[in-house]
Chains A and B, each alone.
Chain A
Amino acid sequence: MRLAKPTCLVITLALSLLSGCAAVPAWEKGNLAKPSMTFNGDPLDERFTQHIYTSKENASGGYGVGGGGCGCN
């Protein structure tokens, strides 16, 4: 791990553009294509889990738009 990584993380969390971080070329992206490394996940699992938390906890959002509402009581 390069030492620059924690610094990069902080900058990311402040939401600025990251062209300063070492750009990763196409042929090094093998690991990034693994399913566990994507943010998509299992669609039905995520829907169900987010639905439970939204109704039992009252906080929601951050993942996407759409999906509609429900009378979750």
Chain B
Amino acid sequence: MHEKREMNDRPRNGAGDAPPPDKISLLSAALALPGLAATLLSTVAATLPALLSSAAQAEEPPDHSAIDLKYLYYHDYQPGEGRMRISAPSFHLLAPFADRWSVETAIVVDAISGASPLFHDTLSGASGLGVNDLRKAGDVKLTRYFDRGAVGMQFAYSTEHDYVSRALSVDARLSTPDNNTTFTAGAGHAEDDIDSVNLVARGQHKRTTDLLAGVTQVLTPNDIIQSNLTYSIGHGYYSDPYKAIDVRPDHRDQFAWLTRWNHYVDAVDGTLRLSARYYHDTFGIRALALLTEWVQPVASWTITPSLRYYTQGASDFYRDPPFPQGFRIGEPYSADQRLSAFGAITAGVKLAKSFAGGWRADFKAEYYEQRNDWHHLFGSDSKPLKPFKAQFYQVGLGKDF
């Protein structure tokens, strides 16, 4: 790549006059310049290494506030039967304040209409009531930032006419001095009250405690990886009161292991995002979710196609319909499709654009399909049920301040 540069090698003006390099210090020479010595703090000698801080960035609150409005629309169906529609306008605000704090709040109103998936024709009459519900949920989170970490506390409240949930959680993160490794830990507790419309569940209660431990690691200037373990311990009412016979255990412990990797590709300014989550719970369900996304900026637009594959094994107490012979009262049982073995694929694309003045807009469309024969890996196949399909869309507008 570099040919011999003869011209640079030939000193031509009396090279014999060039002095051997002197070991004098430029700094001591410069201190003789008028007025400069006085500008050095007495501590400079001791702090010379600190001039180039190895603590890359202090943990900082966001440097601007942001407000987002989003409208979400969800529609699912099984062949021949339109099922559930959800319309959910939502609001989100994030604002730094008092130099080392930030507050974040979100409010979502889900208007749910339609029926939930049913697999027993025997029950179609009872659920003919359909589901028409309004769920309002809000949460507030306060975060305090420190030099290499942050601590946050969040309160969440959600209410629909048959279910009220209140949750409080705390999370903390701490980074190593070089900021390449961040440890995260969190704990939360939720108390839910259930009073079903059909009075099957009255004054029921569920309480859940969640724990999280995670690590985020910078691997290269273009790679960052995160891995989190969560464990949730729950007691209370888990059955579905709207299914004719649905008796689930009164406790559920859940374990999840999520690993995500973001990889930046300089040549096209694009980012590859991969994630894998393994799940296992005391209902006997094992599941794996794999997601891949490609984020591609093009001028002021960003286009993000995504593909997700999910597979789950059936719960221990799931039985294919029809109602099984030899069922013993007191055993847990459910024919809820969501507890069966199936695989699902989501294909989506998101388009985002940023405008002058900190305005942003985005649109996302996703298509989702669940099928028994797409299930791989865990447990045995369930009896094929009608494939379940859904579409969801989001359209959002936001502004940074």
Contact = CB atoms under 8 A, between A and B. Distances in A.
Contacts of A61: 210, 230, 232, 254-256, 258, 277, 279
| Residues of A in contact with B, size category | 35 or more
Interface in B48-85: 53-57, 68, 70, 72, 74, 76
Given A12-B219, A32-B221, A70 B178 contact: no
Nearest to A29: B56
Contacts of B245: none
Contacts of B206: 69
B271 A59 contact: no
Interface in A1-39: 1-2, 5, 8-9, 12-13, 15, 17-19, 21-26, 28-32, 34, 36-39
Contact of B160 (A48, A64, A71): A71
Contacts of A9: 219, 225, 261
B215 A57 contact: no
A35 B285 CA distance: 34
Contacts of B219: 5, 8-9, 12, 18, 21, 24
Interface in B213-261: 215-230, 232, 240, 242, 254-261
Given A25-B54, A58-B287, A68 B166 contact: yes
Contacts of B229: 15, 62
A2 B220 contact: yes
A25 B116 contact: no
Given A48-B88, A65-B186, A70-B165, A24 B156 contact: no
B178 A29 contact: no
B69 to A, nearest CB: 9
A34 to B, nearest CB: 7
Contacts of B167: 66-69
B365 interface: no
Contacts of A13: 227, 259
Contacts of B186: 64-66
B292 interface: no
A23 B178 contact: yes
Contact of B180 (A23, A42, A47): A23
A43 B229 CA distance: 20
Contacts of B339: 58
Nearest to B131: A73
A18 B181 contact: yes
Given A26-B56, A37-B271, A58 B210 contact: no
Given A43-B106, A56-B338, A68-B167, A63 B228 contact: yes
Given A15-B215, A29-B56, A69-B165, A48 B259 contact: no
Nearest to B236: A69
Given A31-B266, A67-B139, A58 B338 contact: yes
Counting chain A CB atoms within 10 Å of each CB, the highest count among B88, B192, B194, B220 belongs to B220
Contacts of A43: 68, 92, 94, 104, 106
A12 B208 CA distance: 30
B401 to A, nearest CB: 16
Contact of A47 (B108, B168, B396): B108
B344 interface: yes
Given A62-B277, A68-B158, A28 B221 contact: yes
B370 interface: yes
B190 interface: yes
Nearest 4 CB-CB pairs, A to B? Answer: A62-B258, A66-B169, A71-B163, A61-B256
Given A28-B221, A42-B396, 18 more contacts: A8-B219, A22-B220, A24-B218, A26-B56, A30-B221, A32-B264, A36-B302, A43-B106, A48-B88, A58-B338, A63-B230, A64-B171, A65-B210, A65-B230, A66-B154, A66-B169, A68-B137, A71-B162
Interface of B: 53-57, 68, 70, 72, 74, 76, 88, 90, 92, 94, 104, 106, 108, 116, 131, 135, 137, 139, 141, 154, 156-158, 160, 162-163, 165-171, 178-181, 186-188, 190, 192, 194, 206, 208, 210-212, 215-230, 232, 240, 242, 254-262, 264, 266, 271, 273, 277, 279, 281, 283, 285, 287, 289, 295, 297, 302, 310, 312, 315, 338-339, 344, 350, 362, 364, 366, 368, 370, 388, 390, 392, 394, 396
16 contacts: A12-B217, A26-B178, A29-B57, A39-B216, A44-B90, A56-B76, A58-B339, A59-B289, A62-B228, A62-B230, A62-B258, A65-B212, A66-B141, A66-B186, A68-B137, A68-B192
